[in-house]
Amino acid sequence: MGKKLLLPTDFSKNSWNAIVYALKLHAEQDCDFYILNTYVKDSHGLNNINRLDPDEAFNKLSENRSKEGLGDILNRLTFAKENPNHRFHVLSRSSVFIDAVKNIVENMQIDMIILGAKGMKHRQEGKYGKNTLAVIENVRKCPVLMVPKNAIFNRPEEIVLATNFNTDFRTSEVKYLAEIAKMTGASIQVLSLADNGTLTSQQKNNKIRLQKYFKAVDLSFNVLHDVNMSAALSCFVEIRHSNMVSYIDEKPSFWEKLGFGTPSLGKLGYFKDVPVLALHG
Protein backbone atom coordinates (compact mmCIF):
# COMPACT_ATOMS: atom_id res chain seq x y z
CA MET A 1 0.00 0.00 0.00
CA GLY A 2 1.24 3.48 -0.88
CA LYS A 3 2.14 6.20 1.62
CA LYS A 4 0.01 9.28 2.29
CA LEU A 5 2.18 12.32 2.97
CA LEU A 6 0.97 15.77 4.04
CA LEU A 7 3.01 18.74 2.81
CA PRO A 8 1.86 22.07 4.34
CA THR A 9 2.94 25.17 2.43
CA ASP A 10 2.81 28.94 2.93
CA PHE A 11 4.39 29.37 -0.55
CA SER A 12 7.76 30.27 0.94
CA LYS A 13 11.10 28.98 -0.39
CA ASN A 14 11.43 26.95 2.79
CA SER A 15 8.16 25.10 2.24
CA TRP A 16 9.00 24.50 -1.44
CA ASN A 17 12.35 23.04 -0.40
CA ALA A 18 10.49 20.69 1.97
CA ILE A 19 8.24 19.55 -0.91
CA VAL A 20 11.24 18.85 -3.14
CA TYR A 21 12.97 16.98 -0.32
CA ALA A 22 9.85 14.85 0.27
CA LEU A 23 9.64 13.88 -3.40
CA LYS A 24 13.31 12.91 -3.62
CA LEU A 25 13.28 11.00 -0.34
CA HIS A 26 10.32 8.93 -1.55
CA ALA A 27 11.37 8.76 -5.21
CA GLU A 28 11.07 4.98 -5.34
CA GLN A 29 7.92 4.66 -3.23
CA ASP A 30 4.28 4.71 -4.23
CA CYS A 31 2.92 7.91 -2.63
CA ASP A 32 0.01 10.32 -2.52
CA PHE A 33 1.19 13.83 -1.65
CA TYR A 34 -1.40 16.17 -0.12
CA ILE A 35 -0.23 19.79 -0.45
CA LEU A 36 -2.05 22.02 2.05
CA ASN A 37 -2.41 25.78 2.30
CA THR A 38 -4.60 27.44 4.91
CA TYR A 39 -5.98 30.94 5.29
CA VAL A 40 -8.26 32.54 7.85
CA LYS A 41 -10.67 35.41 7.68
CA ASP A 42 -9.07 38.66 8.79
CA SER A 43 -11.34 40.33 11.35
CA HIS A 44 -8.87 42.92 12.65
CA GLY A 45 -8.60 46.61 11.97
CA LEU A 46 -11.33 48.91 10.70
CA ASN A 47 -14.77 47.73 9.65
CA ASN A 48 -14.58 44.53 11.65
CA ILE A 49 -18.29 43.84 11.25
CA ASN A 50 -18.06 43.96 7.48
CA ARG A 51 -14.98 41.77 7.43
CA LEU A 52 -16.78 39.01 9.28
CA ASP A 53 -19.04 38.58 6.28
CA PRO A 54 -17.87 35.38 4.52
CA ASP A 55 -18.62 36.94 1.12
CA GLU A 56 -16.55 40.00 1.86
CA ALA A 57 -14.03 40.83 -0.87
CA PHE A 58 -10.97 40.65 1.36
CA ASN A 59 -11.69 37.07 2.36
CA LYS A 60 -12.43 36.09 -1.22
CA LEU A 61 -9.04 37.48 -2.18
CA SER A 62 -7.35 35.24 0.45
CA GLU A 63 -9.18 32.23 -0.97
CA ASN A 64 -8.14 33.09 -4.54
CA ARG A 65 -4.51 33.58 -3.51
CA SER A 66 -4.50 30.20 -1.79
CA LYS A 67 -5.93 28.37 -4.78
CA GLU A 68 -3.69 30.20 -7.26
CA GLY A 69 -0.60 29.43 -5.17
CA LEU A 70 -1.51 25.75 -5.00
CA GLY A 71 -2.16 25.77 -8.74
CA ASP A 72 1.31 27.19 -9.35
CA ILE A 73 2.87 24.44 -7.21
CA LEU A 74 0.90 21.79 -9.08
CA ASN A 75 2.10 23.22 -12.40
CA ARG A 76 5.73 23.22 -11.24
CA LEU A 77 5.41 19.60 -10.16
CA THR A 78 3.67 18.62 -13.39
CA PHE A 79 6.35 20.19 -15.58
CA ALA A 80 9.09 18.49 -13.59
CA LYS A 81 10.21 14.99 -14.52
CA GLU A 82 7.18 12.84 -13.85
CA ASN A 83 7.34 9.97 -11.42
CA PRO A 84 4.70 7.29 -12.07
CA ASN A 85 4.81 6.39 -8.36
CA HIS A 86 3.63 9.84 -7.27
CA ARG A 87 0.19 11.43 -7.22
CA PHE A 88 -0.53 15.00 -6.09
CA HIS A 89 -3.57 16.54 -4.43
CA VAL A 90 -3.96 20.19 -3.43
CA LEU A 91 -6.00 21.27 -0.40
CA SER A 92 -7.04 24.88 0.28
CA ARG A 93 -8.65 25.35 3.69
CA SER A 94 -10.25 28.38 5.34
CA SER A 95 -9.15 27.31 8.79
CA VAL A 96 -6.65 27.85 11.54
CA PHE A 97 -3.50 26.03 10.37
CA ILE A 98 -3.16 23.50 13.18
CA ASP A 99 -6.87 22.63 13.11
CA ALA A 100 -6.68 21.86 9.40
CA VAL A 101 -3.57 19.70 9.83
CA LYS A 102 -5.10 17.66 12.66
CA ASN A 103 -8.33 17.14 10.71
CA ILE A 104 -6.55 15.98 7.55
CA VAL A 105 -4.16 13.67 9.40
CA GLU A 106 -7.06 11.94 11.12
CA ASN A 107 -9.58 11.80 8.28
CA MET A 108 -7.14 10.89 5.50
CA GLN A 109 -4.96 8.61 7.64
CA ILE A 110 -1.77 10.48 6.81
CA ASP A 111 1.44 8.47 7.33
CA MET A 112 3.84 11.39 7.66
CA ILE A 113 3.98 15.20 7.70
CA ILE A 114 6.87 16.93 5.92
CA LEU A 115 7.18 20.71 6.28
CA GLY A 116 9.67 23.54 6.35
CA ALA A 117 11.53 24.20 9.59
CA LYS A 118 10.10 27.73 9.58
CA GLY A 119 7.66 29.72 7.49
CA MET A 120 7.69 32.92 5.48
CA LYS A 121 6.98 35.19 8.47
CA HIS A 122 9.47 33.62 10.89
CA ARG A 123 12.83 35.38 10.56
CA GLN A 124 14.36 34.61 13.95
CA GLU A 125 17.62 32.72 13.48
CA GLY A 126 18.27 29.45 15.25
CA LYS A 127 14.65 28.64 16.08
CA TYR A 128 11.87 26.63 14.51
CA GLY A 129 8.77 28.42 13.25
CA LYS A 130 5.54 28.76 15.21
CA ASN A 131 3.52 26.48 12.92
CA THR A 132 6.25 23.85 12.90
CA LEU A 133 6.34 23.75 16.70
CA ALA A 134 2.53 23.63 16.80
CA VAL A 135 2.52 20.52 14.60
CA ILE A 136 5.12 18.79 16.78
CA GLU A 137 3.17 19.54 19.95
CA ASN A 138 -0.39 18.92 18.75
CA VAL A 139 -0.26 16.26 16.03
CA ARG A 140 0.87 13.05 17.68
CA LYS A 141 -0.50 10.37 15.38
CA CYS A 142 2.25 10.35 12.77
CA PRO A 143 5.92 11.28 12.44
CA VAL A 144 6.89 14.82 11.42
CA LEU A 145 9.92 15.66 9.26
CA MET A 146 11.18 19.26 9.51
CA VAL A 147 13.29 20.41 6.56
CA PRO A 148 15.40 23.59 6.92
CA LYS A 149 15.82 25.90 3.94
CA ASN A 150 19.53 25.04 3.60
CA ALA A 151 18.94 21.29 3.42
CA ILE A 152 19.97 19.78 0.10
CA PHE A 153 18.77 16.27 -0.57
CA ASN A 154 21.47 13.66 -0.58
CA ARG A 155 20.40 10.06 -0.16
CA PRO A 156 20.89 9.61 3.60
CA GLU A 157 23.89 7.47 4.45
CA GLU A 158 23.56 7.95 8.20
CA ILE A 159 20.61 8.85 10.43
CA VAL A 160 21.21 9.79 14.06
CA LEU A 161 18.56 8.78 16.59
CA ALA A 162 18.89 10.73 19.84
CA THR A 163 17.22 9.06 22.82
CA ASN A 164 17.66 8.51 26.53
CA PHE A 165 15.52 5.33 26.26
CA ASN A 166 13.10 6.78 28.84
CA THR A 167 10.17 7.33 26.52
CA ASP A 168 7.98 4.50 25.29
CA PHE A 169 7.71 5.01 21.56
CA ARG A 170 4.98 4.39 19.01
CA THR A 171 5.84 1.20 17.17
CA SER A 172 4.34 2.48 13.89
CA GLU A 173 6.55 5.58 13.91
CA VAL A 174 9.79 3.79 14.73
CA LYS A 175 8.99 1.31 11.96
CA TYR A 176 8.67 4.27 9.59
CA LEU A 177 12.19 5.39 10.52
CA ALA A 178 13.37 1.85 9.83
CA GLU A 179 11.67 2.01 6.43
CA ILE A 180 13.50 5.24 5.58
CA ALA A 181 16.80 3.62 6.53
CA LYS A 182 16.04 0.53 4.45
CA MET A 183 14.87 2.39 1.35
CA THR A 184 17.91 4.69 1.39
CA GLY A 185 20.47 2.16 2.63
CA ALA A 186 21.31 4.41 5.59
CA SER A 187 22.75 3.25 8.87
CA ILE A 188 21.21 4.35 12.16
CA GLN A 189 23.46 5.69 14.88
CA VAL A 190 21.70 5.72 18.25
CA LEU A 191 23.13 8.49 20.42
CA SER A 192 22.54 8.48 24.18
CA LEU A 193 24.14 9.85 27.32
CA ALA A 194 23.75 6.67 29.38
CA ASP A 195 25.42 3.29 28.98
CA ASN A 196 24.03 -0.14 29.87
CA GLY A 197 25.41 -0.03 33.39
CA THR A 198 23.24 2.93 34.35
CA LEU A 199 20.01 2.07 32.50
CA THR A 200 16.81 1.34 34.43
CA SER A 201 14.70 -1.70 33.59
CA GLN A 202 12.35 0.51 31.53
CA GLN A 203 15.27 1.98 29.59
CA LYS A 204 16.71 -1.49 28.93
CA ASN A 205 13.34 -2.72 27.64
CA ASN A 206 13.03 0.26 25.29
CA LYS A 207 16.56 -0.34 24.01
CA ILE A 208 15.72 -3.98 23.30
CA ARG A 209 12.56 -2.90 21.46
CA LEU A 210 14.61 -0.55 19.27
CA GLN A 211 17.02 -3.37 18.43
CA LYS A 212 14.06 -5.53 17.46
CA TYR A 213 12.55 -3.00 15.06
CA PHE A 214 15.92 -2.09 13.55
CA LYS A 215 17.13 -5.67 13.13
CA ALA A 216 17.19 -5.33 9.33
CA VAL A 217 19.15 -2.05 9.52
CA ASP A 218 22.84 -1.31 10.13
CA LEU A 219 22.48 -0.18 13.76
CA SER A 220 25.09 1.15 16.20
CA PHE A 221 24.87 2.53 19.75
CA ASN A 222 26.97 5.49 20.84
CA VAL A 223 27.34 6.80 24.40
CA LEU A 224 28.71 10.23 25.31
CA HIS A 225 29.53 11.34 28.83
CA ASP A 226 29.62 14.66 30.69
CA VAL A 227 27.88 16.75 27.99
CA ASN A 228 24.32 17.88 27.36
CA MET A 229 22.38 16.35 24.47
CA SER A 230 22.32 19.54 22.38
CA ALA A 231 26.12 19.91 22.41
CA ALA A 232 26.68 16.17 21.94
CA LEU A 233 24.28 15.92 19.02
CA SER A 234 25.60 19.02 17.26
CA CYS A 235 29.21 17.80 17.45
CA PHE A 236 28.27 14.24 16.48
CA VAL A 237 26.33 15.34 13.38
CA GLU A 238 28.99 17.83 12.27
CA ILE A 239 31.94 15.48 12.67
CA ARG A 240 30.25 12.52 10.99
CA HIS A 241 28.37 14.56 8.35
CA SER A 242 25.13 12.81 9.28
CA ASN A 243 22.26 13.37 6.83
CA MET A 244 19.26 13.30 9.17
CA VAL A 245 18.51 13.61 12.88
CA SER A 246 15.66 11.80 14.59
CA TYR A 247 14.39 11.80 18.15
CA ILE A 248 11.49 10.48 20.20
CA ASP A 249 9.35 13.45 21.17
CA GLU A 250 7.84 13.15 24.62
CA LYS A 251 4.27 14.29 25.15
CA PRO A 252 4.37 17.87 26.51
CA SER A 253 3.89 18.08 30.26
CA PHE A 254 1.28 20.31 31.87
CA TRP A 255 3.95 22.93 32.64
CA GLU A 256 5.42 22.84 29.14
CA LYS A 257 1.96 23.52 27.69
CA LEU A 258 1.83 26.62 29.89
CA GLY A 259 5.20 27.77 28.58
CA PHE A 260 7.39 26.57 31.45
CA GLY A 261 10.23 24.16 30.75
CA THR A 262 11.86 23.18 27.46
CA PRO A 263 10.11 20.80 25.04
CA SER A 264 12.09 17.84 23.67
CA LEU A 265 12.85 19.58 20.37
CA GLY A 266 14.27 22.60 22.17
CA LYS A 267 16.71 20.38 24.06
CA LEU A 268 18.19 19.15 20.76
CA GLY A 269 19.04 22.57 19.36
CA TYR A 270 18.46 23.89 15.82
CA PHE A 271 19.96 22.38 12.68
CA LYS A 272 20.21 24.81 9.77
CA ASP A 273 20.95 22.26 7.05
CA VAL A 274 19.95 18.83 8.43
CA PRO A 275 16.32 17.57 8.46
CA VAL A 276 14.92 16.50 11.82
CA LEU A 277 12.41 13.66 12.17
CA ALA A 278 10.18 13.70 15.26
CA LEU A 279 8.80 10.35 16.42
CA HIS A 280 6.16 10.58 19.09
CA GLY A 281 6.23 8.83 22.43
Q: Side-chain half-sphere of 91: how many Cα atoms within 13 Å?
A: 20
Whole-angstrom distance, CA of residue 173 vs CA of residue 243: 19
Domain boundaries, the chain: 3-147, 158-280
Per-residue pLDDT of the chain in tens (281 residues, 90 and over written 9): 789 999 999 999 999 999 999 999 999 999 999 999 999 865 544 444 444 555 567 678 889 999 999 999 999 998 777 899 999 999 999 999 999 999 999 999 999 999 999 877 656 677 888 999 999 989 988 999 999 999 999 889 999 999 888 887 778 888 889 999 999 999 999 998 877 778 899 899 989 988 988 988 999 999 888 788 888 899 999 999 999 999 988 764 433 443 434 456 767 888 889 999 999 86
Contact (Cβ atoms closer than 8 angstroms) between residue 242 and residue 189 = yes
Q: Round to whole Å and give the CA distance between 184 and 182.
A: 5
CA 107, chain centre distance (Å):
19
The CATH homologous superfamily for domain 3-147 is HUPs (3.40.50.620)
pTM beyond cutoff 0.85: yes
Query: Per the CATH hierarchy, to which homologous superfamily does domain 158-280 belong?
Result: HUPs (3.40.50.620)
